Amino acid sequence: DKISLFNNEGNSVAFSTDITEPAAVAKFTNTAEYTAPETIYAVYPDRGGVQKLTDGIINNFRIAGGQTAVAGSFDPAYGSAVGVSDVNGNITFKSINSLIKFTIGGKKAPAKVTFTNGGARNIAGLFTYDTITGAVNSGDGAKAISLTPAAGDAFEVGETYYIAVIPGGNFANMTLDFDGTVVRTVEGAKYADETNDFLVGKIINLGTVAFPDDEPE
Protein backbone atom coordinates (compact mmCIF):
# COMPACT_ATOMS: atom_id res chain seq x y z
CA ASP A 1 0.00 0.00 0.00
CA LYS A 2 1.12 3.61 -0.53
CA ILE A 3 0.69 7.02 1.08
CA SER A 4 2.11 10.43 0.14
CA LEU A 5 4.01 12.75 2.49
CA PHE A 6 4.47 16.42 1.63
CA ASN A 7 8.04 17.72 1.76
CA ASN A 8 9.22 21.18 2.81
CA GLU A 9 8.28 22.54 -0.62
CA GLY A 10 4.74 21.17 -0.46
CA ASN A 11 5.34 18.44 -3.05
CA SER A 12 4.05 14.91 -2.44
CA VAL A 13 6.49 12.02 -2.11
CA ALA A 14 5.32 8.39 -2.15
CA PHE A 15 5.99 6.04 0.78
CA SER A 16 5.03 2.37 0.73
CA THR A 17 4.59 -0.61 3.03
CA ASP A 18 4.59 -4.36 2.40
CA ILE A 19 1.87 -4.98 4.99
CA THR A 20 -1.03 -7.02 3.60
CA GLU A 21 -3.35 -7.44 6.59
CA PRO A 22 -5.49 -4.74 8.33
CA ALA A 23 -3.49 -3.07 11.12
CA ALA A 24 -3.79 -0.01 13.36
CA VAL A 25 -0.09 0.83 12.90
CA ALA A 26 2.19 0.40 9.88
CA LYS A 27 5.71 1.48 8.93
CA PHE A 28 6.14 3.17 5.54
CA THR A 29 9.46 3.73 3.76
CA ASN A 30 10.62 5.40 0.55
CA THR A 31 13.59 5.47 -1.81
CA ALA A 32 13.26 9.04 -3.11
CA GLU A 33 14.83 12.13 -1.57
CA TYR A 34 12.60 13.62 1.12
CA THR A 35 13.17 16.75 3.22
CA ALA A 36 10.64 16.86 6.03
CA PRO A 37 8.92 20.10 7.12
CA GLU A 38 8.38 20.90 10.80
CA THR A 39 4.86 19.44 10.66
CA ILE A 40 4.36 16.55 8.29
CA TYR A 41 1.08 16.13 6.42
CA ALA A 42 0.28 12.93 4.59
CA VAL A 43 -2.53 11.71 2.35
CA TYR A 44 -4.05 8.39 1.39
CA PRO A 45 -4.17 7.05 -1.22
CA ASP A 46 -0.98 8.10 -3.01
CA ARG A 47 -1.91 9.73 -6.34
CA GLY A 48 1.43 9.55 -8.10
CA GLY A 49 2.73 13.01 -7.22
CA VAL A 50 -0.20 15.07 -8.55
CA GLN A 51 -1.13 16.49 -5.13
CA LYS A 52 0.44 19.58 -3.56
CA LEU A 53 0.18 21.35 -0.19
CA THR A 54 0.00 25.13 -0.67
CA ASP A 55 -0.87 27.63 2.09
CA GLY A 56 -2.46 24.86 4.13
CA ILE A 57 -4.60 23.56 1.23
CA ILE A 58 -4.13 20.04 -0.15
CA ASN A 59 -5.40 19.78 -3.73
CA ASN A 60 -6.30 17.03 -6.18
CA PHE A 61 -8.16 14.57 -4.00
CA ARG A 62 -10.47 12.53 -6.22
CA ILE A 63 -13.62 10.46 -5.84
CA ALA A 64 -14.83 8.74 -9.00
CA GLY A 65 -18.34 8.84 -10.42
CA GLY A 66 -18.07 5.10 -11.02
CA GLN A 67 -17.07 2.91 -8.07
CA THR A 68 -16.66 -0.84 -7.53
CA ALA A 69 -19.00 -2.49 -5.02
CA VAL A 70 -17.40 -4.25 -2.03
CA ALA A 71 -19.71 -6.20 0.29
CA GLY A 72 -19.43 -4.77 3.82
CA SER A 73 -17.13 -1.97 2.71
CA PHE A 74 -16.43 0.59 -0.05
CA ASP A 75 -14.13 0.90 -3.05
CA PRO A 76 -10.68 1.30 -1.41
CA ALA A 77 -9.47 3.54 -4.24
CA TYR A 78 -11.68 6.38 -2.97
CA GLY A 79 -11.30 6.26 0.82
CA SER A 80 -9.56 9.65 1.07
CA ALA A 81 -7.69 10.35 4.32
CA VAL A 82 -5.33 13.01 5.72
CA GLY A 83 -2.68 12.47 8.37
CA VAL A 84 -0.64 14.87 10.50
CA SER A 85 2.46 14.19 12.56
CA ASP A 86 2.61 14.47 16.35
CA VAL A 87 5.55 15.53 18.53
CA ASN A 88 7.02 12.03 18.22
CA GLY A 89 6.83 12.01 14.43
CA ASN A 90 3.98 9.51 14.29
CA ILE A 91 1.25 10.24 11.73
CA THR A 92 -2.42 9.66 12.55
CA PHE A 93 -4.92 9.56 9.67
CA LYS A 94 -8.59 10.56 9.55
CA SER A 95 -11.12 10.06 6.79
CA ILE A 96 -12.17 13.20 4.89
CA ASN A 97 -14.89 11.75 2.66
CA SER A 98 -18.43 10.82 3.61
CA LEU A 99 -19.99 7.40 3.00
CA ILE A 100 -23.48 6.48 1.84
CA LYS A 101 -24.50 3.19 3.48
CA PHE A 102 -27.32 0.89 2.39
CA THR A 103 -28.36 -2.75 2.75
CA ILE A 104 -30.06 -4.63 -0.09
CA GLY A 105 -33.41 -6.03 1.00
CA GLY A 106 -36.17 -7.97 -0.74
CA LYS A 107 -35.45 -11.00 -2.88
CA LYS A 108 -33.89 -9.40 -5.96
CA ALA A 109 -30.49 -7.66 -6.11
CA PRO A 110 -29.79 -4.87 -8.63
CA ALA A 111 -27.05 -4.91 -11.24
CA LYS A 112 -26.25 -1.21 -10.72
CA VAL A 113 -26.85 1.25 -7.87
CA THR A 114 -26.75 5.04 -8.30
CA PHE A 115 -26.72 7.75 -5.63
CA THR A 116 -27.64 11.27 -6.75
CA ASN A 117 -27.51 14.62 -4.97
CA GLY A 118 -30.32 16.88 -6.14
CA GLY A 119 -28.58 19.96 -4.71
CA ALA A 120 -25.81 22.08 -6.14
CA ARG A 121 -22.93 20.10 -4.65
CA ASN A 122 -20.74 17.86 -6.79
CA ILE A 123 -20.27 14.59 -4.94
CA ALA A 124 -17.73 13.11 -7.38
CA GLY A 125 -14.65 14.61 -9.01
CA LEU A 126 -11.73 16.61 -7.66
CA PHE A 127 -11.74 18.31 -4.27
CA THR A 128 -9.45 20.08 -1.80
CA TYR A 129 -8.90 19.87 1.94
CA ASP A 130 -8.00 22.80 4.22
CA THR A 131 -5.59 21.51 6.88
CA ILE A 132 -6.28 24.58 9.05
CA THR A 133 -10.09 24.71 9.05
CA GLY A 134 -10.94 21.15 7.98
CA ALA A 135 -13.11 22.46 5.14
CA VAL A 136 -13.63 20.37 2.00
CA ASN A 137 -14.35 22.13 -1.31
CA SER A 138 -15.39 20.35 -4.50
CA GLY A 139 -14.40 21.37 -8.02
CA ASP A 140 -15.30 19.98 -11.42
CA GLY A 141 -17.21 16.74 -11.18
CA ALA A 142 -20.69 15.22 -11.04
CA LYS A 143 -23.74 15.03 -8.78
CA ALA A 144 -24.26 11.28 -9.24
CA ILE A 145 -22.16 8.21 -8.43
CA SER A 146 -22.78 4.70 -9.75
CA LEU A 147 -21.78 1.54 -7.91
CA THR A 148 -21.32 -1.73 -9.81
CA PRO A 149 -19.77 -5.07 -8.87
CA ALA A 150 -16.41 -6.14 -10.25
CA ALA A 151 -16.41 -8.33 -13.37
CA GLY A 152 -17.71 -11.78 -12.54
CA ASP A 153 -19.22 -10.57 -9.24
CA ALA A 154 -22.74 -9.44 -8.29
CA PHE A 155 -24.67 -7.56 -5.61
CA GLU A 156 -26.12 -9.83 -2.94
CA VAL A 157 -29.40 -9.51 -1.03
CA GLY A 158 -28.75 -8.98 2.67
CA GLU A 159 -25.31 -7.45 2.16
CA THR A 160 -24.39 -3.88 3.11
CA TYR A 161 -22.52 -1.58 0.71
CA TYR A 162 -21.00 1.90 0.88
CA ILE A 163 -20.50 4.69 -1.66
CA ALA A 164 -17.78 7.29 -1.07
CA VAL A 165 -18.89 10.90 -1.68
CA ILE A 166 -17.36 14.35 -1.37
CA PRO A 167 -18.82 15.99 1.77
CA GLY A 168 -19.94 19.62 2.08
CA GLY A 169 -23.01 21.83 1.69
CA ASN A 170 -25.89 21.92 -0.79
CA PHE A 171 -27.15 18.35 -0.42
CA ALA A 172 -30.88 18.12 -1.17
CA ASN A 173 -33.45 15.61 -2.46
CA MET A 174 -30.97 12.74 -2.44
CA THR A 175 -31.99 9.57 -4.27
CA LEU A 176 -30.75 6.02 -4.36
CA ASP A 177 -31.84 3.94 -7.34
CA PHE A 178 -31.58 0.30 -8.33
CA ASP A 179 -31.19 -0.17 -12.09
CA GLY A 180 -32.82 3.21 -12.71
CA THR A 181 -35.70 2.74 -10.25
CA VAL A 182 -35.65 5.09 -7.25
CA VAL A 183 -35.75 3.04 -4.04
CA ARG A 184 -35.05 5.76 -1.47
CA THR A 185 -35.50 9.54 -1.45
CA VAL A 186 -34.10 11.56 1.44
CA GLU A 187 -33.94 15.27 2.24
CA GLY A 188 -30.32 16.33 2.68
CA ALA A 189 -31.10 18.27 5.87
CA LYS A 190 -31.79 15.01 7.71
CA TYR A 191 -28.11 14.11 7.50
CA ALA A 192 -26.55 17.59 7.69
CA ASP A 193 -25.41 19.88 10.50
CA GLU A 194 -26.78 23.36 11.23
CA THR A 195 -24.99 24.79 8.17
CA ASN A 196 -26.50 22.09 5.88
CA ASP A 197 -23.06 20.51 5.52
CA PHE A 198 -22.38 16.80 5.35
CA LEU A 199 -19.70 16.46 7.97
CA VAL A 200 -16.28 15.15 6.95
CA GLY A 201 -15.96 11.46 7.75
CA LYS A 202 -19.70 10.97 8.36
CA ILE A 203 -21.62 7.80 7.40
CA ILE A 204 -25.12 8.45 6.03
CA ASN A 205 -27.14 5.28 6.64
CA LEU A 206 -30.07 4.89 4.23
CA GLY A 207 -31.10 1.60 5.84
CA THR A 208 -32.47 -1.47 4.07
CA VAL A 209 -33.77 -0.78 0.57
CA ALA A 210 -35.43 -2.95 -2.09
CA PHE A 211 -37.17 -2.67 -5.45
CA PRO A 212 -40.71 -1.24 -4.92
CA ASP A 213 -42.33 -4.46 -6.17
CA ASP A 214 -39.97 -6.63 -4.09
CA GLU A 215 -40.76 -5.36 -0.59
CA PRO A 216 -41.44 -8.12 1.99
CA GLU A 217 -45.14 -8.72 2.71
Residue range 92-113: mean pLDDT, rounded? 95
Report d(CA 52, CA 56) in Å as an integer: 10
User: Judging by beta carbons within 10 Å of its beta carbon (0-12, 13-18, 19+), is residue 22 exposed, middle or buried?
Assistant: exposed
| 33 pLDDT more than 90 | no
- pTM exceeding the 0.85 threshold for the entire prediction: yes
Where is pLDDT greater, at 129 or 187?
Answer: 129
Question: How many other C-beta atoms are found inside a 10 Å radius of the C-beta of residue 15?
Answer: 20
Note the pLDDT of residue 18: 85
- Residue 199 pLDDT grade (very low, low, confident, very high; cuts 50, 70, 90): confident
Over residues 56-85, the pLDDT tens digits come to 999 999 999 999 999 999 999 998 999 999
CA 149, 155, 158, 164 torsion-angle sign? positive
Q: Are the beta carbons of 118 and 173 closer than 8 angstroms?
A: yes
Is residue 212 left, alpha or beta, with left meaning phi > 0 and alpha meaning psi from -120 to 50? alpha
Note the pLDDT of residue 189: 62
Report d(CA 147, CA 74) in Å as an integer: 10
